[in-house]
Amino acid sequence: MKDPRVFNPFYPDKSKDNLLIILGDCGLLWTDKPDKTELFNIKMLDKKPWTTCFLDGNHENHTRLDNLPIIEKWCGKVGQVSESIFHLKRGEIYTFDNKKYFVFGGADSIDKGMRMPLRSWWPREIYSREEENTAFDNLEKHQWNVDYILAHTVPEFLTLKGGPLYNEYYWNSDPTRKLLEHIVYATSFKRFFAGHFHENINFKWNDNKEFHVLDHLGSGFLIL
Ligand SMILES: [Fe+2]
């Protein structure tokens, strides 16, 4: 089994069996109807020698994501964008390469006051009660035990004063961070990956749990 690692476009043995996972703020679907940029990017990614997956960040057209056709893939539900591009949905547990990945995207936008609702900011950046229930039901089915957690943001305690992601200028209250904190305390896992913070930070917590905040091309990429 290959451990997830940071994407390198020159990685030699890529094929459609490899997954590129974008940890949110992909923004691939941004306008209400597909525009030239979106069609170009989808065509370009479909031609690449990998399968592209993304979980949602805060900067996404969540209305478009909510309306994607849903199919069963990797033992969970995904939104299908194209032949080889898939949206990983909040609360699902996917099996990639025999390892379990719990996914929970979304985050609060600190700049939403400067954005236009449903044009450049979507309230669905924050999870619904249904998505919270899906997460708890799926974690229960897996006895609260997964190999990896993929999210856009991180558990709240990491952003509080004294935590590695504390920032006194940008602190905001984010329900997704609170929910992730609850999930992290209740779940056994090895490594947690996030994007969102525009920083590369790696650290250990509770002796054996690793946290990786990635900033590759802005939102964190992994390849399996
Ligand atoms: Fe973000």
Residues 6+ apart with CB under 8 A from 72: 78
Domain spanning 16-223, CATH architecture: 4-Layer Sandwich (3.60)
- Residue 89: name the closest of 35, 134, 28 by CA: 134
Q: How far is the CA of 109 from the centre of ligand 1 (A)?
A: 7
Q: How far is the CA of 213 from the centre of ligand 1 (A)?
A: 12
Q: How far is the CA of 91 from the centre of ligand 1 (A)?
A: 18
Q: How far is the CA of 170 from the centre of ligand 1 (A)?
A: 13
Q: Report the pLDDT value the prediction gives residue 9, as an integer from 0 to 100.
A: 67
Q: Report the pLDDT value the prediction gives residue 2, as an integer from 0 to 100.
A: 62
Q: How far is the CA of 191 from the centre of ligand 1 (A)?
A: 20
Q: How far is the CA of 13 from the centre of ligand 1 (A)?
A: 30
- Residue 108: name the closest of 68, 73, 56, 157 by CA: 56
Q: How far is the CA of 218 from the centre of ligand 1 (A)?
A: 9
| 180, 196 contact by CB (below 8 A) | no
Q: How far is the CA of 58 from the centre of ligand 1 (A)?
A: 5
Q: How far is the CA of 88 from the centre of ligand 1 (A)?
A: 16
Alpha carbons 78 and 191: distance in angstroms, whole number: 22
Buried b (16+ CB within 10 A) or exposed e, 27-63: bbbbeeeeeeebeebbeebeeeebbbbbbbbbbbbbe
Q: Per-residue pLDDT tens, the chain, 224 aa: give them.
A: 467 877 776 777 778 988 999 999 999 999 999 999 999 999 999 999 999 999 999 999 999 999 999 999 999 999 999 999 999 999 999 999 899 999 999 999 999 999 999 999 999 999 999 999 999 999 999 999 999 999 999 999 999 988 888 888 777 789 999 999 999 999 999 999 999 999 899 988 876 789 999 987 777 788 87
Q: How far is the CA of 152 from the centre of ligand 1 (A)?
A: 7
Q: Report the pLDDT value the prediction gives residue 150, as an integer from 0 to 100.
A: 97
Q: Report the pLDDT value the prediction gives residue 1, as an integer from 0 to 100.
A: 43
Query: What pTM was estimated for this model as a whole?
Result: 0.95
Alpha carbons 180 and 134: distance in angstroms, whole number: 14
Residues 6+ apart with CB under 8 A from 16: 49, 50, 51, 84
| 81, 28 contact by CB (below 8 A) | yes
Q: How far is the CA of 18 from the centre of ligand 1 (A)?
A: 24
Q: How far is the CA of 190 from the centre of ligand 1 (A)?
A: 23
Q: Which residue has the tokens 């709240």?
A: 156
- Bridge-partner residues for 209, per DSSP? 205
- Residue 2: name the closest of 147, 206, 192 by CA: 147
Q: Is 201 exposed, middle or buried (0-12, 13-18, 19+ CB in 10 A)?
A: middle
Q: Which sequence spans correspond to the domains of the chain?
A: 16-223
Q: How far is the CA of 23 from the centre of ligand 1 (A)?
A: 9
Q: How far is the CA of 198 from the centre of ligand 1 (A)?
A: 8
